[in-house]
Structure 1
Amino acid sequence: MTSTDVPSPQAWVEHAIWWHVYALGAVGAPVREPDTDPEPHRLRRLLPWLDHVVALGANGLLLGPVFASSTHGYDTTDHGRVDPRLGTEEDLDALLAAARERGIRVLMDGVFHHVGAEHPLVAQVLAEGRDGPRASWLAVDWDAPGGPRTADFEGHRALVKLNHDEPAVADLVAHVMTHWLDRGIDGWRLDAAYAVPPAFWARVLPRVRERHPGAWVVGEVIHGDYAAVVRESGMDSVTQYPLWKATWSSLRDRNFFELDWALQRHAELLEELLPQTFVGNHDVTRIATQVGADAAVLALVVLMTVGGVPSVYYGDELGWTGLKEEREGGDDAIRPALPEAPPDPSAPGQDVLHAHQALIALRRQHPWLVHARTRADELTNERYRYTATSPDGTHRLQVELDVTDRPRAVVRDGGLVVWAFG
């Protein structure tokens, strides 16, 4: 075996399909109200759903923030402690152990751009003043009118920006990331990575990988030069927002030219990295609300037949709807609680679930799709046929999407129909 034949430490991710869960919402934890349950142990409510993940065909749990926080999970108050609304350290250990038993990898959501305003560090820094030992840990305007003012995240005063030029902050983040990897997770989703200088991650990630070379790190990046971000930061991947937008927008507006353009750019990106692909997550209107239930299945066809590392947002596989609104509580509809137990796949009305199972199985049967490139064979506003091809050109699938009258899709292998819808 030559050196070029040796798989990278993150080679496992080429077979990963994530089930993305916003933990606080999925387990029914209170977000803005006091918790009246003295011993919630809510994290264990995810345990019955791990078999659902396996039955779906997925093998990864992308777990929304579990750190102690004040409200929605992204206003961290303690990076080393499980949020009491979710339960205890033992509850998290039980979830990680149950995932390992089923061969499910776990990705944790790392909030390292900012901390919550109620984080002890904030009060400590402000109390110690501009000459205090931790004054440089936060971004603070010490001469602001009315007194010192901390920098925030996108105008949210409850989210206090860390100073990423401070070496002690890099030490803190490296320690937190390594601590939870030691506990048994497999990697990190870096929240708001687009707002953190890539040079910061370039200082942190090599230290993390000294002990955990197999950890996979994906950054939340919404726009910009994705390939340059990965090169400069040392992250493995980024969230593929342009493809997400083009997928739902093309289906909603009946304009497949937008999707074809995005897939051309996607192919260029695949030359440098494996982006994390999705049609739904905890921050966006659910796909079935954007395009309707039937067209949402066509969005899934795209997700499962193009290159990248795909994730399914919890409930999308059940056809859930939910509109994101720009107001307090505007995320509630897209972050609901799961039922106590998964649905019976054999029960009536599980067509969307069956479509997810079938398309994920199709991807499993064609593992080369993780690196697939696409080429348009027919393109009109309402009809799009493309061929997904392995990088070496030896494997192909033909995909047909049609919204001329009603959403329809066909996937062929060598001319043989292997899956159809509508």
Structure 2
Amino acid sequence: MPDWIQHTVWWQVFPLGFVGAEPEAAPAAPVVQRLPHLHGWLDYAVELGASGLALGPIFAASTHGYDTVDPFRIDPRLGDDADFDALIEAAHARGLRILLDGVFNHVGRRHPAFQEVLHRGPQAERANWFKLSWPRGTAPGSEPDYACFEGHRQLVTLNHDAPQVADYVAAIMDHWLNRGADGWRLDAAYAVPRRFWAQVLSQVRSAHPDAYIVGEVIHGDYAGIVRDTGMDAVTQYELWKAIWSGLNDRNLFELAHALERHNGYLDAFVPLTFVGNHDVTRIASRLTDERLLPHALAILFTCGGTPSIYAGDEQAFRGVKEERVGGDDAIRPPFPPTPAELAPYGWPIYRLHQSLIALRRRHPWLHRARTRQVHLANAQLVLAMTEAPQTLFVALNLADEAVSLPVPEARRIEVGEGQLVSEAGGVRVSLGPQGWAILTA
């Protein structure tokens, strides 16, 4: 893991949606310079407290960006190489690292290698790039059956046993790292054999030892995947689910259990943590009680991990993901040209993010902090976030009544609201209904 990631907070953007690009790319459409639209938001990201810009797909594709047709070319709906270079320069000038989204489990049907298969049949030079099953009596122009990603026929799975595919993926990663990117998110990393990643990433790291590599993994053996592949981290979906589910159900036992498992992961690697991204319902819509949004953020910004904020969540954007064609549109909306045109209702949540990120900057050891339960009930939780010798306490109250909770050795409240009281039995914090506080030991 590169040293710089210890101080990184990502602001994640889905560019095709952010800039209002067409949902489908015409094969011969002219280049439209939309990437410069992001320049007007870089200072906003820095003022938020972010130190990295995590980009969704930006390479030539047919629709949503995950059906790649040319990973060596910027999507013409976004711009060209010069626009990419300008974005890298502008971001780096502000201290923002750039994370790219690599789709290496599959390609789109319009990818030249697959089109070659459709036109030339089994004799196509790159036929072994895919997992194909040909009908008897195959002739040029016949269409084979083929492995696809999770039943989506437009997403053709690559054959990760083919050495040419490994060389192809390594070449893509090298190309954009050479142009100034700082790391890669590996889309659908869970669907790709670990041995493939191990081969590719060792090759990439030989030229780019300071690159950050994080894999999208929903569930499974997180630590084992990191160990076997050479990735720096994977996405922490277990904790994401436990945060909103535990808050909604007033079941903080679920959250506490997930944090115990999270401690185990931290023994092996530092996960990418989040409460929202481009694939899930926005946290402000997911929570059934909007008063508990600060509680979710308090956990995100004090537990061990590399936090990521999905653009718009810091303004309490709403959006529900639906399982249908176009079901991601609500969570991938266009943004106005500048932050000044945002609606006023979201700025208090933006300022809350600023306060919590500033707290994390004051306590950089939180990147590897473990959690210890001090008090646990269905609707109350006190956690000690520790990386010896430092400790912060996080106190949460989900109930409609005020409570007094133990916070041993706490000296003052850093963020949140409450009142510290010293008693014979130790220090306690009084929290109002749906109250929360982060305290210094």
Q: Fold-level match, TM-score > 0.5?
A: yes
Say whether residues 1:168 and 2:160 are aligned partners: no
User: Which residue identity does 2:324 align to in structure 1?
Assistant: R
Over 3 Å counting, the alpha-carbon distance change for 1:127 and 1:93 in structure 2 is same
- The one of 78, 91, 116 aligned to 2:83: 91
Is 1:57 aligned to residue 57 of structure 2? no
3-state SS of paired residue (1:213): coil
Q: RMSD in angstroms over aligned alpha carbons?
A: 2.4
Question: 2:368 aligned to 350, 361, 371, which one?
Answer: 371
The yes-or-no answer on 1:196 pairing with 2:192 is yes
8 Å Cα contact 1:23-1:65 kept in structure 2: yes
Separation of aligned partners in 1, 2:402 and 2:108: 44
Asked whether the equivalents of residues 401 and 407 of structure 1 are also in contact (C-alpha less than 8 Å), the reply is no
Kindly name which structure, 1 or 2, has the bigger radius of gyration based on alpha carbons: 2
With 129-138 and 88-97 compared, the bigger mean Cα shift is at 129-138
Query: After TM superposition, what 4+ stretches of structure 1 lie above 3 angstroms from structure 2?
Result: 32-39, 143-147, 343-349, 406-414
Separation in structure 2 between the aligned mates of residue 334 and residue 59 of structure 1, nearest angstrom: 23
Match of 1:296 in 2: 293
| Residues 60 and 69 in structure 2, CA contact (< 8 A), matched pair in contact too | yes
2:392 aligned with 1:397, yes or no?
yes
User: CA contact under 8 A between 1:345 and 1:353: conserved in structure 2?
Assistant: no
Structure 2 equivalent of residue 4 of structure 1: none
Pair 1:33–1:329, CA change in 2 (3 A): farther
Residues 325-364 of structure 1 mapped to structure 2, 5 A cutoff: 325-343=322-340, 350-364=347-361
The question of 1:138 aligning with 2:135 is answered no
Structure 1, unaligned runs of 5 or more: 1-7
Q: Distance in 1 between matches of 2:330 and 2:343?
A: 27
**Number of residue pairs matched by the alignment:** 412
For residues 123 and 49 of structure 1, the distance between their equivalents in structure 2, rounded to whole angstroms, comes to: 38
Alignment partner, residue 109 of structure 1: 101
CA contact (8 A) 2:118 2:143 kept: no
Offset of residue 92 of structure 1? 1.1
Secondary structure of 1:115's match? strand
Native 8 Å contact 2:121 2:143 kept in 1: no
Partner residue, 1:324:
321
Q: Cα offset for 1:131?
A: 3.8
Q: Aligned-pair distance for 1:130?
A: 2.3
SS in 1 for 2:273: strand
CA distance, structure 1, for counterparts of residue 187 and residue 58 of structure 2: 13
Match of 2:251 in 1: 255
CA shift at 1:36, angstroms? 12
Which of 407, 415, 422 is 2:411 aligned to? 415
After superposition, the C-alpha distances for 1:74-109 in whole angstroms (9 at most, x for unaligned) are 000001000000112111111110001001000000
Q: C-alpha displacement at 1:132, in angstroms?
A: 3.4
Alpha-carbon distance in 2 for matches of 1:240, 1:212: 25
- What is the rounded CA distance, in whole Å, between the counterparts of 1:407 and 1:252 in structure 2? 19
- Pick which of 227-236 and 177-186 moved more: 227-236
Task: State the TM-score, normalized to the length of structure 2.
Answer: 0.89
Residue 128 of structure 1 corresponds to which residue in structure 2?
A: 120
Return the offset for 1:46: 0.6
SS of 1:189 mapped into structure 2: strand
Q: Secondary structure at the match of 1:305?
A: coil
Moved more, 337-346 or 319-328: 337-346
Query: Is the Cα contact below 8 Å between 2:233 and 2:271 reproduced in 1?
Result: yes
Alpha-carbon spacing, 1:307–1:406, altered in 2? closer, same or farther (3 Å): farther
- Could you tell me which residue of structure 2 aligns to residue 45 of structure 1? 37
In 2, the alpha carbon distance for the partners of 1:289 and 1:407 equals 26
Q: Distance in 1 between matches of 2:32 and 2:76?
A: 8
Question: Contact conserved, 2:32 with 2:79, CA < 8 A, in 1?
Answer: yes
Q: What letter matches 1:340 in structure 2?
A: P
Matched residues in 2 for 1:97 and 1:149: separation? 44
Q: Which amino acid aligns with 1:302?
A: I
- 2:283 paired residue among 287, 290, 295: 287
Aligned to 2:213: 217
Per-residue Cα deviation, 1:373-422 (whole angstroms, up to 9, x for no partner): 001111111111111001xx200000011110289999989330111155
Q: CA deviation at 1:34?
A: 5.6
Map Cα deviations across residues 284-322 of structure 1 (whole Å, 9 max, x no partner): 000000114332221111000000111000000001010
2:170 partner SS: helix
Paired residues of 1:194 and 1:222 also in contact (CA < 8 A): yes
Aligned partners of 2:412 and 2:127: how far apart in 1?
Answer: 66
Looking at structure 2, the residues matched to 258 and 415 of structure 1 have their Cα atoms a distance apart, in angstroms, of 28
Equivalent residue of 1:164, what SS? coil
Deviates more, 1:25-34 or 1:274-283: 25-34
Aligned AA (1:23): P
Q: TM-score, normalised by structure 1?
A: 0.93
Distance in 2, matches of 1:188 and 1:86, equals 19
Are the equivalent residues in 2 in contact too, given 1:25–1:335 (CA < 8 A)? Answer: yes
CA distance in 1, matches of 2:153, 2:345: 47
Q: Which residue is 1:3 aligned to?
A: none
Task: Look up the match of 2:377.
Answer: 380
Q: Is the 8 A contact 1:31 1:72 kept in 2?
A: yes
